[in-house]
Amino acid sequence: MVTATQTKRRTFLIFMLNRSGVLNKIAMLIRRKMQNVDTITACATRQPGISRMTITLREDRDDKTLQLIKQIEKVTEVISAKELDIDQSFWREVAIVKFEADAAHLEQLGQNHSFELLARQNNELFVAQVAGTSQMIDGFMQEIGEAKIIEVARSGFTALEK
């Protein structure tokens, strides 16, 4: 049996009319195709009335991915939908991490990772923002150590073609 961690991550970029219910229509379509969304982000574009959505999910089969894109494009409010090639686009996410660290560990983190310190509570409790690839965020959290992490909020992916 293939698990979600063994399958290929796919990212879809969708442009659509900014109307209520469109996000739900697309999510329900994906659910009906027995897919599970990993991340979803949506925002307005510079063009009034148009929104963009970035969806990531895991699927190895190209034919299933192509079929899903074609189905999404059939949604009335969708202007365009396509899969982004990881080599021809930028994929990024943001994480806010609350963690415990002493001064030496915090300094070591600063040498190895790029992050913004948002808050310092007491002397050894910190809240930091880290942005980048999922590998960068995972590496930051791994270096902190699971036992020292109190809470994590991750944004999900957003993507842009090169």
What topology does CATH give the domain 4-84?
Alpha-Beta Plaits (3.30.70)
Q: What is the pLDDT of residue 18?
A: 92
| pLDDT single digits (tens) 73-124 | 999 999 999 999 988 998 999 999 999 999 899 999 999 999 999 999 888 9
The mean per-residue pLDDT over the stretch 58-81 comes to 93
CATH architecture classification, 89-161? 2-Layer Sandwich (3.30)
| pLDDT single digits (tens) 35-46 | 888 899 999 999
C-alpha 3: how far from chain center: 19
User: pTM to 2 decimals?
Assistant: 0.79
| pLDDT single digits (tens) 45-57 | 999 999 999 999 9
* Same CATH fold assignment for domains 4-84 and 89-161: yes
Q: What are the extents of the domains in the chain?
A: 4-84, 89-161
Q: What is the pLDDT of residue 2?
A: 45
